[in-house]
Amino acid sequence: MMGQVVKLDKTADAARAAEQARLAAANDASIPTPRPRRNLAWTPARIGVYAFLIAAALFFLLPLYVMLVTSVKPMEEIRLGTLFALPRHFTLEPWAQAWSSACTGLECNGIKGGFWNSVAIVVPSTILSIAIGAVNGYALSFWRPRGAGLLFAVLMMGAFIPVQAMIYPLVRVLASVNLFSSLPGIILIHTIFGMPVMTLLFRNYYAALPLELFKAARIDGGGFWRIFLQLMLPMSTPVIVVAVIMQVTGIWNDFLLGLVFAGSEHLPMTVELNNIINTTTGERLYNVNMAATILTSIVPLALYFISGRWFVRGIASGAVKG
Amino acid sequence: MSNVAIRNLQIQLGGNKVIESLNLDVKAGEFVVLLGPSGCGKSTLLHSIAGLIDTSAGQIEIGGKDMTWADPKDRGIALVFQSYALYPTMNVEANMSFGLRINGTPKAEIARRVSRASDMLQLGPLLKRKPANLSGGQRQRVAIGRAIVREADVMLFDEPLSNLDAKLRTELRRELKQLHKQLGATMIYVTHDQVEAMTLAQRMAVMKGGVVQQFDTPDVIYNMPANLFVATFLGSPGMNLFKGEVEQQGSRAIFKNEHLSVDVSGYPFKAPLTGKHACVLGVRPEDIDVGHGDGVGQAVRASVSLIEAMGAHRVVWLDFHGTQVAGIVQDQQQIETEKEISFSIRGNRISLFDGASEQRL
């Protein structure tokens, strides 16, 4: 009804048609009458809201602007100290340098090594932690083994103890099984630390599904893995998307665990970025540093842009609600 | 075809005893309805037969074999849920064949069974649709189809029609009855709808508080309820109840209270009466004879408080010394509200219950 009225509004005899529609609607009480058009006048309250939103947006976008502008300026322009000015001689040289030849300590191979290290850490860690979290959540919601409540409580405790408190014991444990300073070691660490939140996320998602679905599958003869793989997993797309976003951004942005557990061969991009910025040979190359920083943040940024809607939904639906 | 025998069944849910020492014998090929108000344990009983709820004591036999601890899939049962419980990511065909695919039935056999079930339920054009694109009635048909495809000996129904609108419910009810004839499987059907129970059941078990109150044919349960609960649970409007005393006077038995006196000599007492006995007299509305009472010995007068026109008949509510008495009037006689009218009780189908134990006398 609404859509019809709005469409007719644009035609020449809009008023008449709208009036007819309204009359028809009034005659039939079951059809809701069209909502009166929203008042779009610039009231002081509305101006205030927009002023606040614009100010907030500017405030948060300003650093990004400075980073972008600085990264495409040659050093001569940067030395002038005009932080907000647009570049006069546009150059992509700092980006190339940041990617392939910026120096971290003694080596000058740029940040690309760190990028590929991060990819090598993020991909398996994300897949593993989601797989384990999904199975955990499924088992806790549907199979309810003896002591499931206790298990879940212990798992949740893991989510709330600060990571820093566990680092030293974990170093000792990993060293004793020869996984310290290795790629499998850091992947294992990320998988373990991702498990509580992933379990919570999937448990809550599965808890919202009707239990009768599971019962029907049990009568059909489905076992633990068949029900999970053929019934539950195909229904889990929304929550998997959310989990991927949470894990990829979380693990990509990790600095501390990567620094401690990855070892010098597999340092993630965040650690490499820090090394580049802290390595100075005479002059501080602000443009290269800015380019390296943007390169490092591109993966989570892209993910947010592609799937911001899903991300918010996931936080609202699973991770916060206990 | 298998029989189902339940012996001394006890079920605890979260520490509460939902069912305590329940016995029920369902014959092979029988259509049995479990009827009761919500929370009476009827669904719990059904799910324990299906193996979805663990029993704490007692035995469940299906087809002569002890199935108390068997896995749901090994019991030779199929279950239709109230909420349909269709797998949302699979189309109708995949939904029906899921169980068969799991146990490795040959493809040709799966195709044969699915097409047979879809023919029975007119699901042919819908086979490739997802459950989200089906109406409520179609979904429940698919759920029933999923049960048929299993070719189970015992089919269990957990309030399968209560999510549907009234018209569809009557339609599917008839189809279910037809289906039972065609398949010949044993069917156990849970509902809180007495019309469904009366029309479908060969025998029905009326339950309350985890206890079977009466297990008999719908006819016997309606006409000779075992206790006051069964009497009032069935029938619409409910049975009219009069408190009083019954007394043996020589060869005659008389029910009496301050306003009413009914000769109940023909009543089939379970045990012979001696002296006076406090009791409740129950009379179905159709056994209240409204308007023709003048001149009949037991006729009394009451004022008409409300008339409900039902089309085929009228329900007349009478104010009889402060109690509301419902009577069903089939003929076209003139009845007006606020006017006095006489009524009498047709004595051949009354029920008498003990005043204290509420059991049938």
Q: How confident is the model at residue A139, as a pLDDT?
A: 94
**A87 reaches B (C-beta below 8 A):** no
The nearest CA of chain A is from the CA of B216 a distance in Å of 29
Does residue B9 sit in helix, strand or coil?
strand
Instruction: Output the average pLDDT for chain A.
Output: 83
Residues of A in contact with B86 (CB under 8 A): 216
Give the chain B residue whose CA is nearest to the CA of A211. B85
Q: Where are the domains of chain B?
A: 4-233, 240-354
Q: pLDDT category, B180, cuts 50, 70, 90?
A: very high
Lowest average pLDDT, out of A142-151, B27-36, B218-227, goes to A142-151
Summarize pLDDT for A221-241 with one digit per residue, the tens: 889 999 999 999 988 988 898
Question: What DSSP assignment string belongs to B36-85?
Answer: --TTSSHHHHHHHHHTSS--SEEEEEETTEE-TT--GGGS-EEEE-TT--
The nearest CA of chain A is from the CA of B279 a distance in Å of 45
pLDDT at B350 over 70: yes
Q: Where are the domains of chain A?
A: 1-38, 50-91, 112-319
B27 with B3: CB under 8 angstroms?
yes
Residue A26 neighbours by CB distance under 10 Å = 10
Q: How confident is the model at residue B34, as a pLDDT?
A: 94
The nearest CA of chain A is from the CA of B249 a distance in Å of 60
B320 with B278: CB under 8 angstroms?
no
Burial profile B53-64: b = 16 or more Cβ within 10 angstroms, e = fewer: bebeebebbbbe
Q: How confident is the model at residue B142, as a pLDDT?
A: 92
What would the CATH number be for the domain defined by B240-354?
2.40.50.140
Note the ipTM here: 0.82
Q: How confident is the model at residue A319, as a pLDDT?
A: 40
Cβ-defined contact of B102 to A226 (cutoff 8 Å):
yes
Instruction: Output the average pLDDT for chain B.
Output: 89
Query: What is the Cα B8 distance to its own chain's centre?
Result: 22
A204 with A313: CB under 8 angstroms?
no
Question: Which of B81, B87, B103 faces A221 most closely, judged by CB atoms?
Answer: B103
The residue-averaged pLDDT of B94-121 equals 92
Q: How confident is the model at residue A284, as a pLDDT?
A: 85
In words, the CATH class of domain B4-233 is alpha beta
Query: Token digits for B115?
Result: 């097409």
Q: How confident is the model at residue A41, as a pLDDT?
A: 74
What would the CATH number be for the domain defined by A112-319?
1.10.3720.10
Cβ-defined contact of B83 to A235 (cutoff 8 Å):
no
Query: Token digits for B111?
Result: 């195709």
**A212 reaches B (C-beta below 8 A):** yes
Summarize pLDDT for A7-17 with one digit per residue, the tens: 433 444 444 54
Q: How confident is the model at residue B339, as a pLDDT?
A: 86
The nearest CA of chain B is from the CA of A171 a distance in Å of 44
Q: Which residues, other chains included, contact A139 with Cβ-Cβ below 8 Å and sequence gap of 6+?
A: A145, A148, A224
Q: How confident is the model at residue B14, as a pLDDT?
A: 80
Residues of A in contact with B81 (CB under 8 A): 212, 215-216
Instruction: Tell me the pLDDT of chain A (322 aa) as tens digits.
Output: 343 433 433 444 444 544 454 444 444 444 455 555 666 678 899 999 999 999 999 999 999 999 999 999 998 888 888 888 888 889 899 999 999 888 877 788 888 899 999 999 999 999 999 999 999 999 999 988 888 889 889 888 887 888 888 899 999 999 999 989 899 999 999 999 999 999 999 999 999 888 999 999 999 988 999 999 999 998 898 889 889 988 999 999 999 999 999 988 899 999 999 988 887 777 888 999 999 999 999 998 888 888 766 666 655 554 433 3
- How far, in Å, CA of A232 to CA of A197, rounded? 19
- How far, in Å, CA of A266 to CA of A260, rounded? 11
pLDDT at B297 over 90: no
Q: Which residues, other chains included, contact A292 with Cβ-Cβ below 8 Å and sequence gap of 6+?
A: A98, A102, A110, A111, A273, A276, A277
Summarize pLDDT for B186-211 with one digit per residue, the tens: 999 999 999 999 999 999 999 998 89
Query: Token digits for A163?
Result: 């990571």
Q: Which residue matches tokens 């942005």?
A: A253
B228 with B282: CB under 8 angstroms?
yes
- How far, in Å, CA of B307 to CA of B313, rounded? 10
Q: How confident is the model at residue A171, as a pLDDT?
A: 92
- How far, in Å, CA of A194 to CA of A126, rounded? 8
Lowest average pLDDT, out of A15-24, A69-78, B148-157, B240-249, goes to A15-24
Cβ-defined contact of A215 to B103 (cutoff 8 Å):
no
Question: Which of A219, A230, A235 faces B72 most closely, judged by CB atoms?
Answer: A219
- How far, in Å, CA of B80 to CA of B175, rounded? 15
Q: How confident is the model at residue B200, as a pLDDT?
A: 93
Higher-pLDDT residue of B238 and A279 is B238
Q: How confident is the model at residue A320, as a pLDDT?
A: 38
- How far, in Å, CA of B245 to CA of B7, rounded? 38
Question: Which of A210, A221, A230 faces B73 most closely, judged by CB atoms?
Answer: A221
pLDDT at B120 over 60: yes
